[in-house]
A and B are shown apart, each in its own frame.
Chain A
Amino acid sequence: MSMWRNILGPRQKLDGGLFLPDHKSITARRPIEEMEIDGPLHVPLQIRRDLPATARVEPDDCVLGGELLAHADGSDSVSVSAPTSGKIVALERVWTAADGFLPGAVLEPDGRDEWVQPRQRWESESFVWQLADCGVMCTTPRGPGHALIRAAAAASVTDLIVNAMETEPYLTADLRSLVEEPGRLIDATCEIAGALGARRVLFVLPFRHRRVVARMEAEARGRFVEVVPLANRYPQCDPIVLVKTLLDREVVPGGSVLDVGAVVVPLAMVRATGDAVLGGRPVTQALMTVAGDAVDHAGTYRVPVGTPMRRIAERAGLIGPVARAISGGPLMGVPLGRDDAVVTADTTALLLFSDGGPRPNPVPCIRCGWCVEDCPVGLDPSELMHLEAEHECDPIDLARLRVCVDCGLCSYVCPAQLPLAASIKRARSRFEKTRRHATAAFE
């Protein structure tokens, strides 16, 4: 990094956004640990409700680690492999934070943790097939990794952006893997870039971790990967915002970054791709941060898929009673209503707090304008909020609702404590539904 960049900061800046208190100081310093879990694993056999897979095991079957548990049905589904060796006890529904109940298998580990041979890399097998076979998942947008790569190839994207901007507070999984396995991440990035035929490869990471940036720059030298540090403003991690900042391309409302010739791959998917394509290992673990003020030993852990969150909380140790739990970051994460939710391949964090969280006590908007200035896409949330109570909305307003990236920053800053982001989300889903009905009736 040159001296001038050190002083002046990154060149590209996000219009809006906010530096949040990041609460990472504890977990960012602790190395990644394997979390040993005893007791049964409840492995979901699908990664999303709408992507079916057929179970390949029966109760009382014995499986080795890495053996196929469910096979993909259809071209978008992915296969699921066993996280360790053991016996299948039952096939039953499991609860996941993002999708509710999914079909799953209960695996009683035998403690020996025996694995099948790593899969050989066949030249004849396509990159996309390998990703599907190994169960690689993408976190944003949430879905199968191979489908993202396939869509990107079909859209003939020119820019590949690897997103390591973990701007939400508490989350350190990406940061820790940048520190611990930088070379492998660059290798995996090159694999993806090769499969896509991308012309430009950008590796985006937080500017404030200068030593990590320097290390990644050294790793990337001579490998056609541009390392781009960006300021840690939340929500710089959002793909649409990232493409605007980096490439100055604007996605039309409701569109995706593929429309403007770029694909944004989250670092978690790069990690999984490295394991799958370079190591021949299927995705059976999630790298996740366990943190929050109720947790005793906060840190970044490798946790087998299918571990109930309650187990993780017990292993990490609790200081006091847990009043609320969140899967994912504190701004965009999913609240966990029940403690038998299980870890899935795309889980990034488990946050446990001993307080009940913000109690909304809204008053009328006091026109401070903070939501307007901080919105990363230039919306006026105080105005859009009123659409929730309307009966219909005109196309311009619907387009505005669709531009919103659901970052939650407007609710975060609002001194009147209005539920801005939630209202916008509700209004959008309602009006999109009525519009679909209208078009259906018209046709």
Chain B
Amino acid sequence: MTDWSARGAPHCRGGDTHRNMLGAWIAASAMVAFCGVVMFGPHALTTLIVAILTAVAADMAVAFALRRPVIGGASHACLIGLLLGLMLPATVPWYVPMFGSLVAIVLAKGLFGGLGHYTWQPAVVGRVVVQFLFTGHLSLTSALAMSPVLAPDHILAGDIDIDHAQPITMATYRGWFEVDGPARADAWLMERPVQALRRFAEGKIPPDGDQVYEPLLRDALPPWRDTLLGMVPGGIGESCTIALIVAGLFLIYRGYLRWQLPVTMLAAAALAAAILPVESGEQAGGYRWLPVLAVEQGRAVGLAYVMYHLTAGQLMLGAFLVAGDMISTPMRARGQIIFAAGIGVATVFMRLYGTLAGECYWSILIMNWLVSTIDRRTKRPVLGMAA
């Protein structure tokens, strides 16, 4: 008699492990990070590397101090560091990502019990905390409106320095591709698109005759194509919408991100932007509802306004890479729909009426906090226990 090994049923597994998942998320984030490094130069690379290295080192230190095994190797800490780096602009000094990673790993991950137990997505916590601590570099209330972007012939290698950047007059700026002649400086300084949208909602962009939206689109925002391709200032991973969509599709294809989450989040944000009123410039306190319906000189400016809301920054990064973190989202697809709708609406609401910068990240934290409630409300009915 020979022994055949005996282990309990089931005798096979689906083959997806947490390692594959973390690997796929890191790959997707790395792709976005690559685009960010191309757009923002070596400074972006240093920011990302500092964030990742600190996160990994802090994770090991926490595991050592609490005598816990490091679950999943360094990959989870690596992912958190990477996501944190993507949420920061390339202009921050090295200690900002370092501190953010420390906060994310030690406070938000370690103290909450490590992988699988935290309530708030650690990278977002890190991002929000450094926003409080380093107001000089990351404005808390969006006063630091101008930020740099590399000029066309300086990508990948240019020095993105806020003090030497050449300011741009938006009214005559025809887009990143359309500028003739070599730029004098490595980088251009322009207003972040989110910032322009905020000013518009507050009624600070004066109307041009009877045209309300046209001044915003013409004089304050870069062409929509630039926001799609990422030639606008913002966080390292926030601006390149195309890369974010591809990364998200990759995760959805692998089955690690439910399509319902990004789709609902973007749809809810679009809907909120389409409906929520903006203050119109000419009469103070006068609100215009349903901005999506606005048509000026035969152009659907309202639609363009809504599209800018989606691609102006943060929202895409939030939808495709940050909010989908399984540990801090509801379990079921149904719960994730509610969760994502909440983030989308809250983001646009805070963008239009709030003063806090980083609105998408705040919304994610708020909804993270509601996850257990959502989970309780979206339980599946158990067969035979209909009550």
Contacts and interface: CB of A to CB of B under 8 A. Distances in A.
A111 interface: no
A335 interface: yes
Contacts of B327: 366-367
B1 A340 contact: yes
A366 B379 CA distance: 18
A409 B10 CA distance: 8
B385 A363 contact: no
Contacts of B12: 169, 330-331, 357-358, 412
Interface stretch (B15-23, B43-51, B131-139): B15-23
A26 B172 CA distance: 69
A325 B6 CA distance: 8
A233 B20 CA distance: 25
Contacts of A364: 71, 114-117
B8 interface: yes
A144 B382 CA distance: 30
A409 B13 CA distance: 9
Interface in B200-238: none
Interface string B310-344: 00000000000000001111111100000000000
B288 to A, nearest CB: 41
Interface string B28-66: 000000000000000000000000000000000000000
A336 interface: yes
A332 B9 contact: yes
Nearest to A249: B384
Interface in A356-391: 356-358, 363-369, 372-373, 375-380, 382
A45 B315 CA distance: 70
Interface in A316-352: 322-326, 330-340, 351
B2 interface: yes
Interface centre among B21, B115, B327, B383 (most CB of A within 10 A): B383
B4 interface: yes
Interface centre among B14, B326, B333 (most CB of A within 10 A): B14
A358 B18 CA distance: 14
B386 to A, nearest CB: 7
B11 interface: yes
B152 to A, nearest CB: 43
Instruction: Name the prevailing secondary structure of the B interface residues.
Output: loop
A231 to B, nearest CB: 18
B383 A411 contact: no
B25 to A, nearest CB: 11
A169 B9 CA distance: 14
A59 to B, nearest CB: 23
A378 B381 contact: yes
Contact of B11 (A15, A324, A406, A409): A324
A240 B383 contact: yes
Contacts of A187: none
B3 to A, nearest CB: 7
A337 B3 CA distance: 6
B239 to A, nearest CB: 30
Nearest to B256: A368
Interface centre among A252, A339, A363 (most CB of B within 10 A): A363
B68 to A, nearest CB: 10
A421 interface: yes
B177 to A, nearest CB: 42
A250 interface: yes
A335 B3 contact: no
B11 A330 contact: yes
A373 B6 CA distance: 29
10 contacts: A16-B380, A255-B384, A331-B11, A335-B8, A357-B11, A358-B12, A366-B18, A368-B21, A368-B326, A412-B10
Given A330-B10, A332-B10, 7 more contacts: A240-B383, A250-B386, A365-B116, A367-B327, A369-B330, A379-B382, A400-B382
